[in-house]
Amino acid sequence: MRGKTIREGTSARPPKDRRDLLTAGVTLAAVVLVVASGFTVAGSLLRSFRGELSVNDNLMISVLLLNVALSLLGWRRYRALKGEVALRRAAEAKASELATSDPLTGLLNRRALAEGGTRLIERALGRDKSVAMLMIDLDHFKSVNDLHGHLAGDQLLRAASDAIVAPLPADALAARLGGDEFACAVLFDPSQPMAIDRIADDILARMAQPFLIGGVEARIGASMGIARTEPGCRTVDTLMRRSDIALYAAKRAGRNQRAWFDASMERELELRNEIELGLRAGIPAGQIVPWFEPQVDLATGALIGFELLARWEHPELGILEPSLFIPIAEESGLIGELSMSVMRAGIEEARHWDPSLRLGVNISPSQMRDSWLAQKIVKLLSERGFPAERLEVEITEAALFENLGFASAIVGSLRNQGVRVVLDDFGTGYSSLTHLRALPLDRIKIDRSFVLRMAEDADAAALVRMIVSLAQSLGVPAMAEGVENAEIATMLGSIACPTAQGWHFGRPAPARATRALLAERGLLNAASPSAKAGALTMRQAARRKRA
């Protein structure tokens, strides 16, 4: 009894205990009456048959009848108690089952896996064997759950658990840890780790097959991390922690695959956790700041806008590139907060630019699952007084076509408010001509991987030419990313690509350097403090020159 001492727990008898005492008392009384009066009553009965009854004999017969009644009462109570005991045992068995198994799939739960895994490890140590822990996470389960409902999700979990258990040996343990995460503990010969590889590959192959759920075909797949007992790793907790680290590595490597634990993974995870903690503190502190990469008109060389990029001004490590922290922000659910924070700062800076300049902002795939994304962006524009038509929202092919119907609604909402929508990294996804015609796009950005190879790869150059031609036929202007030299810029101009960006036109720069560039070109908003300061500086320089 939680919160009570033993003494407090036994100080008062519950009603059932009192009923048991009463039953025992009645039964004892009946036995005593039988023993004490049995022979006397028997004699009275014989005399009654001979017609020699006395007053005492009548009393004895009454005692006999009372004894019979008490015996019947005791027997009836015995049967009731027997039924209660059976019910109690059934309830205890059910409670024990619930305490050790997952009610949805029938597999073990985390607690039972820990207990059974400990016994399995003890067996392994006594027989020169090893134990492998397979940590399994279903890929894309959330999408199925969101699309088809929780009932379909539950059916899928049951089907997935069957697929996981099927290749396991009879003495293996299988558990559902929660959500879409499973774990298996398998005894094996340490000289034959290939046996675990075969089991793991069999499970992954089964998970890659389509599941028929309620007449609907669902495809998910799975990622798996594997760890084994060895010196320094002989507890269930350590095995599960290491297999979880390996699972994370498998997911980062592209999902639908397995990875064995390696010590280097632990340090990598520690670094990842440090970055996540730093982001949680750094985003609200304003450490993630906007940088700006110029975009130009290829025909005239004029600036037409900037792409907003994120940099982390880390207090100890200096300026950090987005490739280091953006994936972690995605995984940890911080990308929405980070993106809106940088967008807010970028829009505030762009208010000081010439009204002809546009600002391009990137939207992550996870943000495209936010049904309130369009409203958040429009609200931000309204709060900052920034014209919607000067903002370009860049969405990758993968994010746009993951859920085309949902993405179309977001795109439509943004364009209805005047925000321009750009298809980013075009050529790397699975866009069809039908998709491109259906979506109201304002620009197509050609992926830098093709543009960078134009000068030495004829196939890449032909592909870029084809994309530019396709964009022209759709009435949507194209923009080339990754232009790093004059040769590529000239090639793009020769195929009538209208706009471009890349280091050839200017590297990404922080807000202060971008303002200086715009001030030199007379492209700051005349009403902005920076423009006034720049004009004052120019007048002072002119006076000094005349003097």
Do residues 378 and 419 make contact, with C-beta atoms less than 8 angstroms apart?
A: yes
Dump pLDDT digits (tens) for 491-503.
Answer: 999 999 999 999 9
Token digits of residue 71 = 């015996």
How does residue 6 score in pLDDT terms, banded at 50, 70 and 90?
very low
Give the model's pLDDT for residue 385.
95
| 278-285: Cβ within 8 A, 24+ apart | 278/314, 279/312, 279/325, 279/328, 279/329, 279/332, 279/334, 279/338, 280/334, 282/312, 282/314, 283/334, 283/337, 283/338, 283/341, 284/341
309 to 34, 295, 507: CA distances (angstroms): 98, 13, 11
Percentage of the chain beyond pLDDT 90 is 62
**Burial tier of 144 (Cβ tally within 10 Å: 0-12, 13-18, 19+):** buried
Tell me if domain 110-261 and domain 289-520 are identical in fold. no
Give the model's pLDDT for residue 92.
61
Phi/psi for 210 (5° steps) reads -65, 140
H or E stretch covering 188:
strand 181-188
- Record the pTM: 0.69
Q: What's the CA gap between 150 and 159, in Å, rounded? A: 14
481 an active-site residue?
yes
Give the model's pLDDT for residue 29.
58
Q: What is the mean pLDDT of residues 60-75?
A: 64
Dump pLDDT digits (tens) for 290-312.
Answer: 999 999 999 999 999 999 999 99
Q: What's the CA gap between 282 and 181, in Å, rounded? A: 31
Q: Which fold has domain 289-520?
A: TIM Barrel (3.20.20)
Closest Cα partner for 298 from 502, 507, 498? 498
Do residues 362 and 424 make contact, with C-beta atoms less than 8 angstroms apart?
A: yes
Question: Does residue 9 register a pLDDT over 80?
Answer: no
**Burial tier of 67 (Cβ tally within 10 Å: 0-12, 13-18, 19+):** buried
456 to 302, 314, 493, 497: CA distances (angstroms): 27, 38, 17, 19
- Domain chopping of the chain, boundaries: 6-100, 110-261, 289-520
Neighbours of 306 (CB within 10 A): 27
Phi/psi for 228 (5° steps) reads -130, 155
Instruction: Kindly state the DSSP code that residue 361 receives in the 8-state scheme.
Output: E
Question: Does residue 12 register a pLDDT over 50?
Answer: no
What CATH number has the domain spanning 110-261? 3.30.70.270
Give the model's pLDDT for residue 51.
53
Pairing of strands 222-228, 258-260: parallel
How does residue 215 score in pLDDT terms, banded at 50, 70 and 90?
confident
- Say which of 481, 484, 487, 520 is annotated catalytic: 481
Instruction: Kindly state the DSSP code that residue 442 receives in the 8-state scheme.
Output: S
Which residues is 186 bridged to in the sheet? 132
Mean pLDDT for all residues in the chain = 84
Question: Does residue 172 register a pLDDT over 90?
Answer: yes
How does residue 124 score in pLDDT terms, banded at 50, 70 and 90?
very high
How does residue 398 score in pLDDT terms, banded at 50, 70 and 90?
confident
Q: What is the mean pLDDT of residues 237-256?
A: 92
Question: Does residue 440 register a pLDDT over 60?
Answer: yes
